[in-house]
Amino acid sequence: MRRRRLLTLSHSYVVALNRRLARELHKVGGEEWEVVAAAPRFFHGDLRPIHLEEEPGRTYDVRGLTALGSRSLHLFVYGPALASLLRERWDLVHAWEEPYVACGFQVAALTPRDTRLVLATFQNLPKSLPPPFRQFEQVSLRRAAGWIGWGHTVTAALKDRPGYRDRPHATLTPGVDVEAFRPDAAARAARRTQLGWEDGTPVVGYLGRFVEEKGLGLLQRALGKLSVPWRALFVGGGPLEAELQRFSRAHPGKVAVVTGVPHDEVPSWLNAMDVLAAPSQTRRNWKEQFGRMLVEAAACGVPSVGSDSGEIPFTVGAAGRILPEADEAAWVGALESLLSDGAARRELGEQARARAHADFSWSTVARRHLQFFETL
């Protein structure tokens, strides 16, 4: 029997690391699925312009497409080559693009009727979309054979909405590279030496964007009230960098702010932490959609303390501590408890690492995708 042909398409595939899903689909699919990925040749990213990145040792096909208007995630579209690509014989097209954006609508409109189409979405808030995005979503869902909700809160927000409720769906998650993200005692020692932190004082870490909704204000206030020894490591970047630098100067020798870290260096910085804090704060138009830093820390054996915003409780599970997002006293208590109990941190870290391998490895995520595709 011939192999089924799967086209997986996403603007995020312009970054080689983001093609782990495509790579694992190819690897797990084996003799049953032929997997081809499609990605922009060039894309204006959030932080920098990106040309289609090479992937050493790649064994699957990646097709480059022109992306027009890529400064806008909502309005960009692919060039004419997309239509030719979609006219090839595919059993299933997987579009890692929101159903309501222009390129999601474009893929839905151009996919032949005899080809199954699956759309993926991160929408975890019930939104009232303005024209033309409402119409884009309606057309995309009418054409789709099914959809993927990236997390439990996405499925909860969409499963009863018109269009979505009439289509098969699966609740899936992004994954983590458990080979790159792993406990590394040498990296831990090197980073702590680099920071001048060699006395064993436990470190509370944060990884991500330096923005208000990530709860950095709450975390600073909680740290300032701790009665046990602590240090804090903030890794990332964003508009609150100056505020964090002031916090660092107010606590000399106890706080480090590290910016401009490339993704391949993230595992070493995570290993320098004893606890990862994710104090995200829900806003009217935003709540945490997944928390990639949580599964990356877990794979490194670092336990997390997270707020109950959005998807965080589902991502952390029982391998960490979940706190009310606005309860400053609860944050102080939880951090003090973990910072003063090395055995508890190690136990949670082992549980977190086991969970990362069992539930979030890219091979597991790819296998669950293919199982859903098989049902369609």
pLDDT tens per residue, range 162-219: 999 999 999 999 999 999 999 999 999 999 999 999 999 999 999 999 999 999 999 9
Q: Look at residue 72 and tell me whether its pLDDT is greater than 90.
A: yes
Structural domain including 14 reads 4-175+361-375
Residues 171 and 280 in one domain: no
- The full DSSP string for 256-286 is EEEE---GGGHHHHHHT-SEEEE----BTTB
Tens-place pLDDT, residues 336-346: 999 999 999 99
Beta-bridge partner residues of 237: 209
Residues 194 and 291 in one domain: yes
**Domain of 27: which CATH number?**
3.40.50.2000
Strands 92-95 and 169-172: unpaired
Rounded Cα distance, 210 and 84, in Å: 42
Averaged pLDDT of the chain: 96
Tens-place pLDDT, residues 259-312: 999 888 999 999 999 999 999 999 988 999 999 999 999 999 999 999 999 999
Q: Look at the pTM and tell me if it is higher than 0.75.
A: yes
Residues 197 and 233 in one domain: yes
Residues 193 and 143 in one domain: no
Tens-place pLDDT, residues 318-361: 999 999 999 999 999 999 999 999 999 999 999 999 999 999 99
Residues 131 and 250 in one domain: no
Tens-place pLDDT, residues 88-147: 999 999 999 999 999 999 999 999 999 999 999 999 998 889 999 999 999 999 999 999
The verdict on residue 335 lying in a domain is yes
Give yes or no for a contact between 230 and 334, defined as CB atoms under 8 angstroms apart: no
Q: Look at residue 14 and tell me whether its pLDDT is greater than 80.
A: yes
**Rounded-to-5 percentages of helix, strand, coil across the chain:** 40, 20, 40
The verdict on residue 214 lying in a domain is yes
Average pLDDT (71-96) is: 97
The verdict on residue 47 lying in a domain is yes
Number of domains composing the chain: 2
Residues 276 and 215 in one domain: yes
